A and B are shown apart, each in its own frame.
Chain A
């Protein structure tokens, strides 16, 4: 792995923006540089100059580049204690209304949305919820829509579910094929998957609950601030925001417009416009 200088990252960001229309300047540079190295390894490119030339000459497809640059690692019921806490919160969403809207921003291959479907199904609330799941990465959205999870990943998923529920068997929501476990398509069809780039997104609807977990860790503080403002605008009054268990909203200028619902699990509630 080679060290990429600050100057190199600037050049890369410029060319990528020019060519693909995506702006990575406000990403966290430590991980961005590793992802660039990863693209270079996969594509067997030895220098930054070669990488830039290949992007300019259309030798690396935009979707492929984006897919390798983003980090898609996810799990079903990641952080089981978070899902237990969220389950306590969900009934509050129905205090003033019959139907609610949930947005998973940065849903990756879908596991977070599948988990939500299972929770809602088990609470008997599925008919009262509209779910939107979005990501910047087209390839990963296709995967999310297919419901397919590699069998080797199911072990941890099954364990997480047991930790969430104290018992039970998540396998009942899947059809096991040779290489894949396929998520219940009847449940899956309730999710509307969309391609949304949080870097330049504008509020597109109002939600009652937004989950954006382990996405903003790839952004710098400035971009985190912008995205949290976007979420604040996209929430109804008294709507909820859930972020990753090691993320924070304290440096955002709208932090004061949220109440902390659960500090450990990073669940917040909008209480000021």
Chain B
């Protein structure tokens, strides 16, 4: 990884994932430092009508507390947020969440595209977008937008993904900065943590 990609003063990490990404997410959350300071905004496809259990399952091994934000809740440093079941989770100018029950996008609610696109618009080049394993193309447009706004883009290495459609769709429409297996994504986040704390 280029040094300049580590030293930028980022404001948030946004992660999208679908089929096959749950264990990857738990790995990431359990191997980042407990005082990782950037907010982590996760949009993950999940069962639409099961409200509980998901957060708890993610949190079991996590070094950090994981929450579903309420509408208009402000985005705080060091917190991990997950899109609630059956709501799109967007980010609004002024650093708050804005939830929505709009029509499904890419057959999904929450839609990863909406989370990533609104993050891109608000955080511009101070955003890291990470797209993991998944069975549809949700997230591809969002990654493109992050790139357009100058943010850093990383996808999970398709050869390692349970289902590679999602990272591949992103790679097909955008020049992704880094294609990494999970262990390298985790290593990157840890290095990033050290750099962000140094400055």
Task: Give the interface of A toward B (CB within 8 A).
Answer: 3, 6, 28-31, 34, 71, 73-74, 79, 81, 156, 159-160, 163, 214, 216-218, 220-221, 224, 244-248, 251
Q: Which of the segments B16-24, B37-45, B91-99, B165-173 contacts the partner chain?
A: B91-99
- Complex CA–CA separation, A30 to B102 (angstroms): 12
Contacts A160-B49, A247-B71 given: A217-B92 contact, CB under 8 Å? no
B121–A3 CB distance below 8 A: yes
Contacts beyond the supplied A217-B101, A246-B69, A247-B71: 16 A-B pairs with Cβ under 8 Å = A28-B100, A29-B92, A30-B91, A30-B118, A71-B102, A73-B102, A74-B101, A160-B49, A217-B100, A218-B100, A221-B96, A224-B72, A244-B71, A246-B68, A246-B71, A248-B73
- Complex CA–CA separation, A3 to B100 (angstroms): 18
B76 at interface (Cβ–Cβ under 8 A)? no
- Complex CA–CA separation, A190 to B49 (angstroms): 30
Chain A residues in 8 Å Cβ range of B51: 79, 81, 245
- Contacting residues of chain B (105-145) with chain A, CB-CB under 8 angstroms: 114, 118, 121
Chain A residues in 8 Å Cβ range of B114: 34
Partner of B49, one of A156, A216, A246: A156
B103 at interface (Cβ–Cβ under 8 A)? yes
Task: Give the interface of B toward A (CB within 8 A).
Answer: 49, 51, 68-73, 84, 87, 90-93, 96, 98-103, 114, 118, 121
Chain B residues in 8 Å Cβ range of A6: 93
Chain A residues in 8 Å Cβ range of B91: 30
Chain B residues in 8 Å Cβ range of A79: 51
- Complex CA–CA separation, A221 to B72 (angstroms): 7
- Contacts A/B (CB < 8 Å), 15 sampled: A29-B93, A30-B91, A30-B98, A31-B98, A31-B100, A71-B103, A73-B102, A156-B49, A217-B71, A244-B71, A245-B84, A246-B71, A247-B71, A248-B70, A248-B72
- Complex CA–CA separation, A73 to B121 (angstroms): 25
B90–A31 CB distance below 8 A: yes
Chain A residues in 8 Å Cβ range of B93: 6, 29
A28–B98 CB distance below 8 A: yes
Q: Which residue of B lies closest to A224 (CB)?
A: B72
- Complex CA–CA separation, A218 to B90 (angstroms): 12
Chain A residues in 8 Å Cβ range of B103: 71, 73
Chain A residues in 8 Å Cβ range of B96: 221
